[in-house]
Each structure stands twice: as structure tokens, then as C-alpha cells.
Structure 1
Amino acid sequence: MASDCSPTGCSSESSARASDCALASTCSAATTCLPSACATSSCQTPSFLSGSRLPTGCLPPSCFAGSCNIPCVLGNCAWCEDGAFNSNEKETMQFLNDRLASYLEKVRGLEELNAELECRIREQSEEDVPLVCPDYQCYFDTIEDLQQKILCTKAENCRLAVQLDNCKLAADDFRSKYKRYESELSLRQLVETDISGLHGILGELTVCRSDLEAHVESLKDDLLCLKKSHEEEVNVLRGQLGDRLSVELNTAPTTDLNRVLDEMRCQYETVLANNRRDVEEWFAVQTEELNQQQLSSAEQLQGCQTEILELKRTANALEIELQAQQSLTESLECTVAETEAQYSSELAQIQCLIDNVENQLAEIRCDLERQNQEYQVLLDTKARLECEINTYRGLLDSEDSRLPCNPCSATSTSNNTCEPCSAYIICTVENSCP
């Protein structure tokens, strides 16, 4: 604070304080320091005007209590004596210096707050750099690998589906072949039934042949018996007649019974031989046909049995392969479902993390906007305070130039004209600068 009574010293000190303005800590909103002297309804005469001995009523009516923040002068206040000039001037300069110091402190506080906010913004920006741009390349690589695996699994499933379709077609082919085998088997059973029936007919024909042969033998025996009995009777008759009768009859020659019997025998034997030959030929033909059919049926049966065994083995192998493919498909589907669930949960977590980071970024942006607004407000306040400081500096310089170097006497003061006081100028400038 200035200790001398000259206003020039106060002006130089206030200019030095204004030049030493620097960054400071957080400050509150600008408030006006009013001395207790301005709270009263009466005003004291400014110390730098007490020596000029201005007459009553020379001050304008605007310098009243409440119209300015410095001690004001009422229109009917009495002037102090010459000895009180230095003390009042010191008080006024002390008040102005205090007011200027408070403004400078506010400016320093605002600048420190501004610097602190800038530091906080810079630190927040540096801290948020890894959150704003996180490295998701590993997740993208994992997702791409999983997509490739899913595509490979889908291709494998398609290949297995094609194999299953081929197996179904092969099974249908085997089923049709099995049906054809069943039809051939039924045909074979019918042929075997016919063969068994022909065997029965053959047995009947054999029995009939044996009966006929037995009948032929019995007829031969009867013929021999008849021949013997006829010869015996002829011999007996020849022995009885002897040579006693020699009767010659002019008749037709008698038939030779032996010749007739021989002819009949030959005819029967011929018919029997023909019948026997025909039956043997028919039996041989039928037997050969049945043997050929039996051989072909046996070959077909053996081929069908072999084919059935092969089809059964193929069907069993296909069934085993189908079960293996079904189990593999189920395991792959379970794996795909588990993988999708796992990575969907991881993607959900990553999405939540991204949402949180975006929310934090939005909050940081809001904080930055709010701090920018506060910074603009503080800059405006700083500008107004600097304007007011410059105004005070100019007023102090002008007052230093206006004040006389030596105080005037009482007689010369009464003859001077009334000039407007500097307190009025200070009050007017302070009211004009918010």
C-alpha cells in the first residue's frame, strides 16, 4: 500500500500491480468491496478534494451514498481544514488501492481457474485417448475366424446332407432289389411247388408202370399156361385118335393158334414198348427240364443269397456310417450353438463396453462444452475487469495530472470557480463499467 500522500505514488504502485498479474487458483464470482463509510446516508469529502476548498454545492447530485462504491460527497457537507487533506487523501488512495488489489486478485484467480481448467481438459483428453480408440482388431480376427469355421461347418453339413441323400438313394435301390429278390423267391417257391407236384406225378407213373409190368408178367404167365394146357390137350387128343380116323375135310385151313398168339403177343409187346418208350421219353424230358429249372433256380437262389448278404453288409455299414454322421452332425450343431452363444455374449459385453465408452465420451463432450462456456464467461469477466482496471488507471493518471502540487490557501480557494470533483467521475465510470 502507498504510504505517501501524493496521488502520483499511488498511480505508479497500482500500475506495478497491474503489470504483475499472473495465473492464480480458483476464485468466486466478482463481488464489490464496499467500505463501511459508504453504508451511511452521509458522504465524506474525498481526501484529494479537501485541500481545494470547493464551495458548497459544487459537486453534482449523483455522488450520493449508493450511487458509487467509493466515499461520496453530499451537497451540504462542510469542507475540512488544510491539516486534514493528507489523511483523507491517504484513506481514499488506500480504498482505491484495496479495490484495485481485489480486482487484481479476482483476475489472478480467474486466470488460475482458466489454467486449471485447461490442464484438466488436457489430462482428460490424454486419459480418454485409449478409451476413444480401443483396439478391437483381436476381436475382429476372432470373429472372422469363427465366421470361417461356421462357413466350413456349413459346407461340411451340406456335404453330409449330400452323402445322406446318396445313402437314402442307395437304400431305396437296395430296397427295390430286395423286393425283386422277394418276387424271385416267391417264383422259386412256386417252381419248387411245381417240381414237388411233378415228383408226385412221377411217383404215380412209376407205380403205374410197375403195375403194368406186373400185369404184363402175369399175362405172359397166363399165356404160357394156356400154351402148355393147349399142347397137352392136343397131345391127349392125338393120342386118343391115333391113326383110327383119317378124315380129310375140304375146308379152309384152320388158323394157327400159336401164330395168332405170337402175333397178339408181338402186338401187345409193341404197344407196351411204344407206351413205355413214350413214357420214358416224357419222363426224361420232364426230368431234364426240372433239373435245368432246378439248376437255374439254385444258381439264381445262390446269387440272390450272395446279393442279399452283400446288401445286408452294405446296409449295416451304411447304417453305422449314418449313425456316425448323425452323431457328428449333432456334435457340430452343439458346438456351433455353444460358439454362437459364447461369442454373442462376448459381443454383447463388447457392445456394452462400447456403449459405456460412448456415454463417457458424450459426458466428456458435455463437460468440455460446459467448461468452454464457463471459460468464455470467465474470459468476458476478465475482459470487463481489465477494462475497469484500465479505466481506473486512466482516472488515476488524470487525477494525478489535475491535482496541484501545493495546496491553495483559504483566500485563494474562495475565489476559484467550481469544478466537478473526481469522485463524480470515478462513480460515473464505475457505474458505466459493470
Structure 2
Amino acid sequence: MSFSSSSNYRKIYGDPSGSSTLISGGGSSSSSFSAFSGGFGSYSNVSTSKRPARDAGFSVSSGENVQLSQTFAVNDEYKLIRTNEKQQLQGLNDRFAVFIKKVHDLEQENVMLRSKQAALLHTHSESFGQKRTYQQEMQELRAQVEKLSAHNAQVVLERSNLAEDLQALKLKYQEEIRRREGIELSLKAYRKDVDHATLVRLDLEKRVESLRAEIAFFRKMHEDEVTQLMAMLQASGVAVETDSCQADLTVALREIRAQYEALAAKNLQVAQRWHSAAYEKLVKEAAQSAELIRAFEEKVKEYRKQMEFSTTRIESLEGMKVSLERQIVEMEERHTSEAGGLQIIITQLETDLMSTKNEMTRLLREHHDLLNIKMALDLEITAYRNLLDSEETHFSNGGISMSTSMSALNLNASSLLTTVFDSSSPILSKKEKKKESLKRVSKISTQKEETFEKHSEGTLVSTKKVDKAEHEQIDGDMTDFEQLGRLTLEGELKPLEKLTVEAE
């Protein structure tokens, strides 16, 4: 059976430079060995013409020299192949070290960005605390403004009530002024009547005086006439007749005098009675008018005091209203400026929040990419480990000897096979070292948190075809690693999503 299987590693990385030809029995087959892209070809597929020799106990014959030379040739070729594999593994390790360094740098950057994010969240929380403080102060100021507005409305209502009372008092005052003017007009009319009565009294007094003067004149005139008549009578000598005439004239004069005196007394009494009645009436009316005037004056004084008090109170309320309106305007301007400043702060915080969200989105994307890269590297390392295990299994099952019978390299064989095993022991020790180094690299790589999932399928192409059992094992390992990667990604994304929700 010839070695006709080709390596997938050669399709990706190219043919190894140290490929050689194996001679097995009656045919030849060329096989290229690659370090980590696939498993080694089964060395047990050489010619089966020598298998009975292994069952016979490997008796030393003339054909053993040929087998020994073939074994040395195979070992030299194997050493050359292992050297090439070592170089390729070194290149892969260098690439893996570059990836690890990049992951480490990105992890440090992620830590730094998380610290920045925490600082931004802290600043954002402090700004929200300041916003709540400003909102409380604004609510208190709004409550004060509402209280002052209610007080202002109450003051305006009281002012309107006082204005109505003042208007009523003004109307009443005008009514009292009209009544006073009417009373003053009546008093003026009464004064005219008093003046007329006084004039009538004076006229009557003058008439009485004139009548008294006339009576005195008539009396004097009568006396003169009597004197003349008496003189005439004495001159004529008729004494008796003169005495009788004188007596009759005196009686007539006395009667006339008595009549005139009675008439004058009667007229005087009538005038005095009328004058007294009119005077008493005028005095009573004047007293009543004076009392009314005093009452009206007192009411006017009281109304004037009330009007002055109301005017003073209205002026004070107007001044208070002006001051309250000025305070309200100042408070509104101050609150408007504070609200503008708070709005600017809110806008800045929203901008910072959006930038933080964008930064978190970018970090999540990078984290997702790096996590998938890590998963791809883990899968590649697992594939390498499985290939090494498969190679070790093939070596343990088929032996290390590359002779045509593949039985001369058994550990329980003869001294010839012991020599061959001793010559191949450095290769096994190198393989163990490589295996340990791969384990350490795998342990370091599993501690990283950032990979990219889309590269996992590309790395699967680099694995060589193996038998069905190895394929099933690799598929199972790949499924486990994909599940582990998804769980790790979900575990990394949940804290960041919580931080994003808290930031919002």
C-alpha cells in the first residue's frame, strides 16, 4: 500500500523543503510530512512482506543488514523531516507569540478603556447628582414663586376691594357734599329771612318812632293851639265858655291820645310777637343746621381720614406689588440662566454618554474580534495537540523503525532494534519538549479573554486528513471549544451591557 495522501498544510503553507522518498519492499511512495496541519502518514502501511519475520522473532539473517541500512536511511530522513517540522513549528510559535503579544496589548488597552469608562460613569453620576440638586432648588424656587404669586393675587384682590370701598366712600362723600350744599343754601335762605325780619323790625321801630314823634308833634301842636285859644279866650273875656271849651278839647285830645297809644302798643306787641316767633324759629333752624353741619363735618373728617388711610395703604400695596414683580422678573431671569446652564451641562453629558456608548460599542466589537481570535488559536492549538497525540499513537502502534517490516523498532525486539530505538530517542525527547511547550502556550492562551469567532472555520482547513476516529475527536473538541467561546463571550458581554444600561 503506497503513501498517496497529501497534506492540507502544504495547500496553506507550502511543501516542506525536506521531503524525501521512502523505500518500502517492492514499491516506492513519496509522502510530505507537515508539522501541525495534519497527522503523519501511517508508517505501518509499508509492504507487508516482512510481517511474518516479526512473528518469527526477528531471527538474524543475511537480510538484516539490508534492513539496518534501510532503517538508518529512514532515520536520517525522519531527522530531516523533524528538523523541517521544528522550523515550521518555530515559525508558528513566532506567529502565535505575535498574536499573544497583540492580545496582551489589547487587553491592557481594554483595561485602560474600562478605567476611563468607570471615570466617565462616575463623572456622569456626579453630574446627575448635581442635576438632582439643581432640580430640588428649582422646585423650591418655583414653590416660592407660586407662594408669592398667590400672595400677589391676594394683595390684588384686597386692593380691588379697597378700591371698591373707596369708590363707595367717594360716592357717599359726594352725596354728603351735596346735602351740605343744600343745607347751606337753606341756611342762606333762612339768613335772608332773618335779615328781612330784621329790616321789618327796624322799619316798624322807625315807624313807631315816627308815630311817637308825630304824637309828640301833634301833642305840642295841640298844646300850642290850646294855648292860643286860651289866649284868645282870655282876650275876649268869656271865661266860662273858654273853660268849657278847654275841657271839651282836653278830653278829646286825651281820647285821641289814648286811642293812638293803644294802637301803637298793639302794633308794637304784634310786631314784637312776630319778630320773636320768627327769631326763635330762625334760631332753632340755625341750631339744627349747625348740628347737621357739625355732624356732616365730623363725617367728612372721618371719611377724609379713611380715604387718606386707604390711599396710603394702596400706595404701599402698589410699592409691594412693584417690588414683588421686580423680584419675580429677577428670579425668572436667574432661573432661566440656571436652566440654560443646566441644559448645556445636560447636552454635554448626553454627548459624553453617546461617545461613551460608541466607545463601548467599539470595545465590544474589538472584544468580540479578539475573543474569536483566541477561540481560533485555541482550536488550532487543540488541532496541533490532537495531531501530536495521533502521531504518538501511530508511533506507539507501528513502532519507530521505518523498515519494510516496521517490526524491527519494537522495544521488546533484539539488540539491533534497541540500537535503532536509541538512535531515535533524541527525536522523542524533542517531541516531548515540543509537546510541553505547546501545553504551556495553550495554558497561556486560554488565560486571554479576546478572540474572533469567524477565523475558526479558516483554521480548520489547515488540519490534515485523519482517520474517522480522529475526525470525530477533533469535531467534538471543536464543538466544546465553540461552546466555551460562546459562554466566555456571553460572560464578557453581560457586565458591559449592564454598565451600558446603568450609564443610560
Band of TM-score, shorter chain: 0.5 to 0.7
1:328 equivalenced with 2:324 (yes/no) = no
1:389 aligns with 2:381: yes
User: In the superposition, relative to structure 1, how do residues 56 and 242 fare at CA in structure 2: closer, same or farther (>3 Å)?
Assistant: same
Alignment check: 8 A CA contact 2:197 2:275 kept: yes
Is 1:206 matched up with 2:207? no
Q: Which runs of 5+ in 1 are unaligned?
A: 1-31, 70-80, 246-254, 413-423
Matching of residue 128 in structure 1 with residue 121 in structure 2: yes
SS across alignment from 1:222? helix
Q: Which has the higher helix share?
A: 2
TM-score (norm 1): 0.67
| Separation of aligned partners in 1, 2:404 and 2:17 | 18
Give the Cα–Cα distance (whole angstroms) in 2 for the partners of residues 328 and 53 of structure 1: 120
Question: Which residue of structure 2 aligns with residue 181 of structure 1?
Answer: 176
Residue 362 (1) aligns with residue 358 (2): no
- Structure 1 residue 217, shift from structure 2 partner: 2.4
Whole-Å separation in 2 of the counterparts to 1:217 and 1:45: 186
User: In the alignment, which of 198, 212, 216 is matched to residue 217 of structure 1?
Assistant: 212
Query: Hey, what's the Cα distance between the residues in 2 that align with 1:325 and 1:282?
Result: 62
Shift of 1:84: 5.4
Give a deviation string over 1:183-214, Cα, whole Å, max 9, x none. Answer: 13312331342134224423431342234224
How far the C-alpha of 1:338 sits from its partner, in A, is 0.7
Instruction: Indicate the SS of the match to 1:135.
Output: helix
Name the residue aligned to 2:106: 113
2:322 is matched by which residue type in structure 1? E
Once residues 206 and 399 of structure 1 are traced to their aligned partners in structure 2, the CA distance between those partners, rounded to angstroms, is 168
Partner of 1:229: 225
Letter in 1 for 2:354: A
Separation in 1 of the partners of 2:23 and 2:393? 15
Could you give the per-residue CA deviations for residues 232-260 of structure 1, whole angstroms, max 9, x where no partner exists? 43674586374999xxxxxxxxx955545
Alpha-carbon spacing, 1:104–1:387, altered in 2? closer, same or farther (3 Å): farther
**Structure 2 length-normalised TM:** 0.59
- Kindly state the Cα deviation for residue 125 of structure 1 after the two structures are TM-superposed: 2.6
Of 301, 312, 335 in structure 1, the residue corresponding to residue 293 of structure 2 is 301
Q: How has the CA–CA distance of structure 1 residues 156 and 110 changed in structure 2, closer, same or farther, with 3 Å as cutoff?
A: same
1:172 lines up with 2:167 in the alignment:
yes
1:359-406 deviation per Cα after TM superposition (whole angstroms, max 9, x unaligned): 323332333233223322322232222112211222233234446523
Q: Which runs of 5+ in 2 are unaligned?
A: 1-9, 39-72, 242-246, 408-460, 467-474, 479-504
Which residue identity is paired with 1:233? L
Q: Is the 8 A contact 1:171 1:315 kept in 2?
A: yes
Q: 1:293 to 1:50 in 2, by over 3 A?
A: farther
Q: CA RMSD in A?
A: 4.5
Q: How does 1:251-400 map to 2 (within 5 A)?
A: 258-400=250-392
Mark the CA change 1:210 to 1:426 in structure 2 (over 3 Å): closer, same or farther. closer
Percent identity over the alignment is 17
* 2:72 matches 1:99: no
Paired positions, count: 365
Cα deviation 1:119-148 (Å, max 9, x = unaligned): 532551354134135324543443343234
Preserved CA contact (<8 Å) 1:131 1:357 = yes
1:32-181 mapped onto 2 (5 Å cutoff): 38=14, 43=15, 47=19, 50-51=21-22, 86-103=79-96, 105-107=98-100, 109-110=102-103, 113-114=106-107, 116-118=109-111, 120-121=113-114, 123-132=116-125, 134-136=128-130, 138-181=133-176
**One-letter identity of the residue aligned with 2:280:** E
Task: Check conservation: 1:51, 1:408, Cα contact below 8 A.
Answer: no
Q: Does the CA contact (< 8 Å) of 2:22 and 2:28 recur in 1?
A: no
Residue 364 of structure 1 aligns with an amino acid whose one-letter code is: T
Which AA in structure 1 matches 2:197?
Answer: L
Give the superposition deviation at 1:278.
1.8
Q: 1:289 to 1:372 in 2, by over 3 A?
A: same
Deviations 1:74-115 (A, max 9, x none): xxxxxxx86555334312331134224423542563365246
Cα distance in 1 for partners of 2:388, 2:177 equals 131
**Which residue of structure 2 aligns with residue 12 of structure 1?**
none
Structure 1 runs of 4+ with >4 Å offset: 32-35, 43-46, 51-59, 81-85, 255-261, 424-429
